[in-house]
A and B are shown apart, each in its own frame.
Chain A
């Protein structure tokens, strides 16, 4: 009889532990669910070509924020890029961004021609870049390929100014990538870059979903 009681107690204890374990797991999973509020950076490249590739990348911004400071290589140190080395075709990128940061809303660059329209502006808290380029019809390169008609290539970049400011928040000769990622996380869902040309459609955006469209 005593032995039977011991078994009953053991079974009850086991059931209690299993129930407690299930509850802890449920709580942990629920916390995991709330983590889905983390922001994710998505990159999507869709090729229109017959043998083209589709690439989709989903990166949690928290991962980028924590990993970047751990990478110390070339221009990147402690999540910051040395700005003195960051020049695009001779243009000091930091100086340009700094100028944009300290200017009121408005258009900075407008280029209009028969083939290309470029617009760089600051509006409603965003740095906006629009490029429209008219591409000539393309002859077929292979016998089985159809000739392509004229097409407008589109590039749209829309970056929150808070991100630009965070990028410039470090020392004068550096761009603070980690601060920019933090600012991007704090910002709402937004499409940062879309590029559409004859071969590819590229989209870079930030939202709270862990899977891209």
Chain B
């Protein structure tokens, strides 16, 4: 009985953490007979955890390169989290459609081109955590 409760509670806690962090979604569909059809869903909560295990040199290099833009990126992510859902950028032509939309706590990029469609959704909460993590590492010792 107690084991069941522990298992159930643990599952609920993990589900809550995953749901709170959101999911990173990447979908790529090539418009040809044998084209790639990729669908990737990763719980966003895993990214900051993964960064803890990433090679320090690599992260420091990335942080150093992006140092100049990190504050602006952090502020952008924070402000985008605050604003209501809606379209931010829409570009459409006869050949291609591109849209960047804020939707349900995520930044969603859709590209519908002649050769492929791409859909990327990045939870803003995760983006903020990643930028903060990089900011904490730059400058690297």
Contacts and interface: CB of A to CB of B under 8 A. Distances in A.
A66 B76 CA distance: 8
Nearest to B99: A56
Contacts of B87: 56, 58, 211-212
Contacts of A53: 91-93
B94 interface: yes
Given A63-B76, A67-B75, A71-B72, A54 B90 contact: yes
Nearest to A211: B86
A67 B71 CA distance: 8
B91 A33 contact: no
A63 B80 CA distance: 8
B80 A35 contact: no
Interface in A57-79: 57-60, 62-63, 66-67, 70-73
Contacts of A152: none
B89 interface: yes
B24 to A, nearest CB: 22
A72 B88 CA distance: 24
Interface in B47-100: 68, 71-72, 75-76, 78-80, 82-95
Nearest to B80: A63
A191 to B, nearest CB: 19
A32 B84 CA distance: 6
Nearest to A60: B83
Interface string A81-110: 000000000000000000000000000000
A38 B82 CA distance: 11
B92 A54 contact: yes
B132 to A, nearest CB: 14
Contacts of A59: 88
Contacts of A55: 89-91
Contacts of A51: 93-95
A47 B95 CA distance: 14
A57 B89 contact: yes
A156 to B, nearest CB: 24
A66 B73 CA distance: 11
A210 B86 contact: yes
Interface-centre pick from A52, A53, A62, A212 (highest chain B CB count, 10 A): A53
A36 interface: yes
A50 interface: yes
B72 A67 contact: yes
Interface string B4-25: 0000000000000000000000
Given A50-B94, A54-B91, A73 B68 contact: yes
Interface of B: 68, 71-72, 75-76, 78-80, 82-95
8 contacts: A33-B84, A50-B94, A53-B92, A55-B90, A59-B88, A63-B75, A63-B80, A71-B72
A-B pairs with lowest CB-CB distance, top 6: A210-B86, A70-B71, A63-B79, A53-B93, A70-B72, A56-B90
Given A33-B84, A51-B95, A53-B92, 16 more contacts: A35-B83, A35-B84, A36-B84, A51-B93, A51-B94, A54-B91, A56-B91, A57-B90, A58-B88, A58-B89, A62-B82, A63-B79, A63-B80, A70-B71, A210-B85, A211-B87
